Amino acid sequence: MQPYTTTVPGYPRLGPRREYKRTLEGYWSGKLSEEEFLERIGQLQTSQLQRQRDGHLELLPVGDFALYDQVLDAALWLGCIPERFQSLWEEQGRQVTPTLYYALARGYQGIAPLEMTKWFDTNYHYLVPELPQEFSLNGQLLLDKWQRARQVTDRLKVVLIGPYTFLKLAKLEGPAVAQTMERLIGVYRQGVQQLIDQGAEVFHLDESYLVCDVPAEEWPAVQAAYEALADLPAQILLHTSYGGVGPVYEQLVRLPVAGLGLDFVRGREENLQALAQHGFPQDKLLVAGVVDGRNVWRSDLEAVFQLVREQIEPHLAPERLWLSSSCNLFHLPEDVELETELPQEIKDGLSFARQRLEELHLLAQALRHGPEAAEPGWSRARETHSRWMDHPQRVQDEVRRRVGQLREEDFQRTPYAQRDPLQRAELKLPPLPTTTIGSFPQTPELRKARANAKQDPEGYRRRILEEIKYVIQLQEEIGLDVLVHGEPERNDMVQYFGERLQGCVTTQLAWVQSYGSRCVRPPIIFGDVVRTQPMTLDEAQYAQSLTAKPVKGMLTGPVTILQWSFVREDIPREEVAYQLALAIRDEVRDLEQQAHLRVIQVDEPAFREGLPLRRADWDDYLRWAVRAFRLATSGVKDTTQIHTHMCYSEFGPIIDAIAQLDADVISIEDARSDGAIVRALRDYHYPAQIGPGVYDIHSPNIPTVEFMANKIRATLECLPVEQVWVNPDCGLKTRRYEEVIPSLKNMVEAARQVREEVTAKG
């Protein structure tokens, strides 16, 4: 490889126009046969590689393109097939077929899928491996990817999840890590050797868990794993992303690997300090993550050039320095040039995945031959970056004054113990009240109407009101206690608000994968955030006018909007969070005072996701995240009940912060967590009301009355009945009415049965 070889840990798999999503959903719906699906998915992998090759990337990743999730791919590669799927595994001839693969991802004929949770501190969801007693290699899926990639180019590296990170993603702790590594590493080595036999020479092993807290008792497992791989005839590159490796740097550089990958964006200061203090081994490659794989702002290439020249290069020879993105580019949209409606001055400031490849190419040219060799692209990049940084619309003096004038009372409500009886008297709900999280199915008819909204705004408005009326009537027929309007007007719980807040822009095709075929278009927060008019008031007023039952106002919280957006980097995230909180606070006030809603839900599913990866850094984040939520929700009367919702959260370590949010009711994902969250809340003596999810909406399975009644009974073994609500574990947007209606009917019946049991016991 030449000096400054360019590479990335991975590239978006969605395709420029979500071709991946349509292929998966075509197969799941039966529109594509298995043979057609495999052919199309292979074509998508090929086109993904071709786009990277044509973007001048010099070493392309293989293995980052997953059929649903890269962790699931790794689990199947290593033979992690749970016992409950063994009969299906036998039926499929002990082969990783699409039927088996998606059964683990989505469930199968009543068999629960793997647990899903967040990938590090991002909005990507991965499937948690369930580890077997004995690992076994299932290498064909990866071999097929390798062979297909070789038809595009021979400049390839195999991307794998590293053995330590794999075990940590499976939620192993302490002695279990070393014990399991002993069983794992032989099969892992066998899989690497199998690829070497097919011509693979470079292996990128993603060990991003090394930027988290690494207990001393677990480090021997890391050491043992890489010693077991050391004699393989290949370049093993241990790669880290999402932060710095300062605490383990000295141990890391002594590992018997050919090279290390370090993040010089998010982990810049920490990794630079480690380099300056300890140097870098003269026998290793350094893969330097110098352009941002997480955010969309154009790189300041001159600053990156100086970073490499002055702070990285002094520690190693140029031929041992490769250039990379800070992490897998699948966190970014594909191509900013597809955005034809963005204001040009904002578009100039953006860099999506394709543009990151261009930045790496320009940077490599400039480092090899001087910036003049990278012209005219180098000057154009410098000019557009400078123009963006000086953009006048990014600062709103009134917003900054309002944040600066906040008082402590703006973050406070009357204590919960005093609010609770007032709300119960106001709402008059039965024990075990039933509700949903907020959204109802986004039908093809709704999506078609939204697509035509600009051509026929009045027709679209009528269609939205018709859907709200239908959803309210449906919920009354089913017998739910607290209703929602169904959110038919919302394309996404964050994008919707991004479209209505000044200081944000949204895109046409800047899709990012959340999980499987689920995609989002994160808003881009480029300036100070201002709410100029109500965002949800009309729909809420209309919904409440249709029923005597309470209707929940549905809002997305400030922390979640922050986490699920591409956020400006010129002011602290805390300040952006308070700006968003003030916008939501104004909306909450209008829902209460103008729509006369008695229940308002401010969702914060990303609250835990925002935690820094090391516990030492948690306190500061939790301080301002809690305050942002309280700022958004503390301007209401005591009789107004504030709900929040969180999903995919391991609450135990942050239960005190959850309590400090001071919400009256919290609904939580619990369907795939086996009651762990409920037990954590019980042990903490959580004071307010809780709605543990009684069924998993991410699976197409329709839960039975008995299944959900048993979930409620298990909850009541931990919590008193007056504290418990009954609801699904998340919104119903991605499901079909054919699944939603019977599921909710069963849920209401389950609540009724358990309510009667509780009443009979007195």
Answer yes or no: are the C-beta atoms of 12 and 330 closer than 8 Å: yes
Spell 651-689 as b/e; 16+ CB within 10 A means b: beebbebbbbbbbbbbbbbbbbbeeebbbbbbeeebebb
Q: Tell me which amino acid residue 277 is.
A: Q
Fold of 19-389: TIM Barrel (3.20.20)
C-alpha closest to that of 586 among 572, 598, 600 = 600
Q: DSSP 3-state assignment of 350?
A: strand
- Domain 19-389 and domain 420-647+667-761 have a common topology: yes
Report the run of H or E that residue 252 belongs to, with start and end: helix 249-252
Answer yes or no: are the C-beta atoms of 581 and 411 closer than 8 Å: no
Answer yes or no: are the C-beta atoms of 487 and 554 closer than 8 Å: yes
C-alpha closest to that of 475 among 347, 467, 386, 292 = 467
What mean pLDDT comes out for the span 754-760?
A: 93
pLDDT, mean over the chain? 94
Quote the pLDDT of residue 671: 67
Give catalytic residues, as residue numbers: 698
Spatial distance between the Cα atoms of 588 and 568, rounded to a whole number of angstroms? 25
DSSP character at residue 628:
H
Q: 310 to each of 276, 320, 369, how far by Cα in Å?
A: 11, 16, 16
Report the 3 state secondary structure along 654-697: HHHHHHHCCCCEEEECCCCCCCHHHHHHHHHCCCCEEEEECCCC
If one looks up domain 420-647+667-761 in CATH, what number appears?
A: 3.20.20.210
Q: Which residues pair with 202 in a beta bridge?
A: 235
Structure-token match 């995230």, residue found: 573
Quote the pLDDT of residue 555: 98
Spatial distance between the Cα atoms of 681 and 655, rounded to a whole number of angstroms? 7
Return the higher-pLDDT residue of 761 and 138: 138
Residue 325 has pLDDT above 90, yes or no: yes
Spell 224-247 as b/e; 16+ CB within 10 A means b: ebbebbeeeebbbbbbbbbbbbbb
Quote the pLDDT of residue 47: 97
Furthest C-alpha separation in the chain = 83
Q: 181 to each of 25, 130, 217, how far by Cα in Å?
A: 36, 14, 13
C-alpha closest to that of 479 among 437, 441, 436, 434 = 434
DSSP character at residue 312:
I
Q: DSSP 3-state assignment of 603?
A: strand
Residue 649 has pLDDT above 70, yes or no: no
What mean pLDDT comes out for the span 113-126?
A: 92
Tell me the backbone φ, ψ of residue 532, rounded to 5 degrees.
Answer: -95, -15
pTM for the model: 0.91
C-alpha closest to that of 518 among 698, 752, 704, 664 = 698
What mean pLDDT comes out for the span 552-577?
A: 96
How many other CB atoms are there within 10 angstroms of residue 369's CB atom? 10
How many other CB atoms are there within 10 angstroms of residue 516's CB atom? 24
Spatial distance between the Cα atoms of 667 and 565, rounded to a whole number of angstroms? 23
Quote the pLDDT of residue 674: 67
What mean pLDDT comes out for the span 624-647?
A: 96
C-alpha closest to that of 520 among 555, 559, 561, 568 = 561
C-alpha closest to that of 592 among 559, 563, 632, 630 = 632
421-446 per-position pLDDT tens digit = 999 999 999 999 999 999 999 988 89
Strand extents, DSSP E, 350-493: none
Residue 93 has pLDDT above 90, yes or no: yes
347-367 per-position pLDDT tens digit = 989 999 999 999 999 999 999
What mean pLDDT comes out for the span 252-265?
A: 98
C-alpha closest to that of 308 among 363, 267, 351 = 363
Quote the pLDDT of residue 701: 80
What mean pLDDT comes out for the span 28-36?
A: 96
Spatial distance between the Cα atoms of 45 and 43, rounded to a whole number of angstroms? 5
Quote the pLDDT of residue 471: 97
**Interacting residues of 341 by C-beta distance below 8 A, sequence separation 6+:** 508
Pairing of strands 235-239, 259-263: parallel
Percent of residues, the chain, with pLDDT higher than 90: 86
What mean pLDDT comes out for the span 643-671?
A: 86
Spell 408-428 as b/e; 16+ CB within 10 A means b: eebbebeebeebbeebeebbe
Spatial distance between the Cα atoms of 386 and 504, rounded to a whole number of angstroms? 20
What mean pLDDT comes out for the span 131-159?
A: 96
Spatial distance between the Cα atoms of 651 and 506, rounded to a whole number of angstroms? 32
Structure tokens that stand for 133 in this block: 């007693």
**Sheet architecture: strand order including 524-531:** 501-505, 524-531, 566-567
684-730 per-position pLDDT tens digit = 888 999 999 988 887 778 999 999 999 999 999 999 999 999 999 99
Q: Tell me which amino acid residue 394 is.
A: R
Quote the pLDDT of residue 154: 94
C-alpha closest to that of 312 among 249, 268, 359 = 268
Residue 731 has pLDDT above 70, yes or no: yes
Q: Which residues pair with 205 in a beta bridge?
A: 160, 238
Residue 650 has pLDDT above 80, yes or no: no
What mean pLDDT comes out for the span 13-23?
A: 96
Domain ranges of the chain: 19-389, 420-647+667-761
574-624 per-position pLDDT tens digit = 999 999 999 999 999 999 999 999 999 999 999 988 899 999 999 999 999
Confidence band of 381 (pLDDT split at 50, 70, 90): confident
Quote the pLDDT of residue 672: 61
Spatial distance between the Cα atoms of 388 and 356, rounded to a whole number of angstroms? 17
